[in-house]
Amino acid sequence: MALEYDLLNENVKKCQYAVRGELYLRASELQKEGKKIIFTNVGNPHALGQKPLTFPRQVVALCQAPFLLDDPNVGMLFPADAIARAKHYLSLTSGGLGAYSDSRGLPGVRKEVAEFIQRRDGYPSDPELIFLTDGASKGVMQILNCVIRGEGDGILVPVPQYPLYSATISLLGGSLVPYYLDESENWGLDVNNLRQSVAQARSQGISVRAMVIINPGNPTGQCLSEANLKEILKFCYNEKLVLLGDEVYQQNIYQDERPFISSKKVLMDMGSPFSKGVQLVSFHTVSKGYWGECGQRGGYFEMTNFPPRVVEEIYKVASIALSPNVSAQIFMGLMVSPPKPGDISYDQFARESKGILESLRRRAKIMTDGFNSCKNVVCNFTEGAMYSFPQIRLPPGALQAAKQAGKVPDVFYCLKLLEATGISTVPGSGFGQKEGVFHLRTTILPAEEEMPEIMDSFKKFNNEFMAQYENGFGYSRM
């Protein structure tokens, strides 16, 4: 039987992924027609002009072209520490970058990841419980695939959330159990909301199996406090939930009050019975931070408190895909063991990474301040990650016009914004929303020098939009 639409897997049809949804498709069309589009829909730093860090690219270039290592002039083009690191990584492979690795990733790189986690958290980490993946996305999918047995299995997911979670749960035929983040508390997480969400799911016959946290948050940009993480881990202990800690933005922190603290460290600090009782999977990537190497597709996950038989089964399933990208594994190795003070490449590496992070910090502020200066727009400060998520209070006239156009109100607003300014965003409804509340998500990634102009053009559009639809009868905010 041919694969007609009617015969598609229903889970495929149900699954939604707004980051590349209607807005992105319209933006691509406009671009083909010759309009200048500012793609702020995806956290894809290099696509918006961020330059790659020099040292990792030198090392991987040498690994990709090992014959350069035999060239007598190699030392004129590459620093000695890059040459040494390329030789080191090649020695960890069996046959270079063109050969499959172990399905969990190269043992030598997994050891480097374990050493990084140990340095970061102050607790031992076991390379046997670390799997390298093609970006964090594949790791999340692998773990959810192992957890979800059918629609009776529920996964607690924050709302708003990054739609990798909702889409994968749909694809796998599980049930998403939402818990709401509190915008008025800077997108904080109230454990009482979690309890309510679990009770409600249970009353519908759903067995809640796991909980997702995204820290720092996407799209919401908040950093979870240590106290909050403790409450979450206690909750998971009491409810016997696997905690999936999405920590891909751990390098992207733009304030000093709430530094990133890993779920693993908090769990270990809590001691017995929690430290041995909560099952935790933490995810990381080379796509974010000051690396931004999205196209390389490198990631890892670390499992804590998983029985060996379960780890074996996860390994078996990873084996079906044979091997994660080997060049991306080397990026991961380099990310977790960058040049150290005293190394030839250290100064350049430190200068480049500091430059990117400091600029991101300034851009986060320019964006938040810009949004907060606009009529009917309120925006929490981006404490971390790569996004700004302003609330747009739509006047009744705009809700009416959206209805007439057959569009969800925030999609209507974002389409108008795109047509007027070329700024391509993602409507808040793509991440989940409370009824009647509207947002949009933009990355903070456009080049710093272009930022004032982008914010001016946003403000001009927004204020005209509001003037057009405002009729003095109150707003969409709940």
How many Å apart are CA 328 and CA 338, to the nearest integer? 15
Q: How far is CA 321 from CA 105, 325, 375, in A?
A: 12, 10, 50
How many Å apart are CA 208 and CA 176, to the nearest integer? 9
Residue nearest to ligand DCS (CB): 135
CB of 163 to ligand DCS, least distance (A): 8
Angle at 296 between CA 70 and CA 428, to 5 degrees: 165
CB of 230 to ligand DCS, least distance (A): 22
Nearer to ligand DCS, 180 or 291 (CB): 291
CB of 269 to ligand DCS, least distance (A): 24
Nearer to ligand DCS, 142 or 218 (CB): 218
Nearer to ligand DCS, 143 or 248 (CB): 248
Q: Which residues bind ligand DCS (CB under 6 A)?
A: 19, 42-44, 135-137, 162, 164, 214, 218, 246, 248, 285, 287, 294, 299
CB of 296 to ligand DCS, least distance (A): 9
Tokens of 25: 């498709």
Contact 374, 463 (CB under 8 A): yes
Tokens of 181: 């983040």
Nearer to ligand DCS, 213 or 454 (CB): 213
How many Å apart are CA 441 and CA 80, to the nearest integer? 43
How many Å apart are CA 33 and CA 268, to the nearest integer? 55
Other beta carbons within 10 Å of 231? 17
How many Å apart are CA 88 and CA 57, to the nearest integer? 15
Q: Hey, which bits of 160-262 come out as E strands?
A: 175-180, 207-214, 242-246
Task: Return phi, psi of residue 211, to 5°.
Answer: -135, 135
Nearer to ligand DCS, 275 or 296 (CB): 296
CB of 177 to ligand DCS, least distance (A): 18
Contact 120, 286 (CB under 8 A): no
CB of 301 to ligand DCS, least distance (A): 11
CB of 166 to ligand DCS, least distance (A): 12
Contact 56, 286 (CB under 8 A): no
Nearer to ligand DCS, 214 or 241 (CB): 214
CB of 135 to ligand DCS, least distance (A): 3
| Helix, strand counts (H, E) of the chain | 18, 14
CB of 129 to ligand DCS, least distance (A): 19
DSSP for 149-164, written as a single string: -STTEEEEEEES--TH
Nearer to ligand DCS, 212 or 398 (CB): 212
DSSP, collapsed to helix, strand or coil, labels residue 288 as coil
Nearer to ligand DCS, 162 or 458 (CB): 162
Q: Which helix or strand (DSSP H or E) is residue 346 part of?
A: helix 346-372
Nearer to ligand DCS, 299 or 409 (CB): 299
How many Å apart are CA 170 and CA 192, to the nearest integer? 26
Nearer to ligand DCS, 44 or 282 (CB): 44
CB of 435 to ligand DCS, least distance (A): 23
Tokens 């800690």 sit at which residue? 245
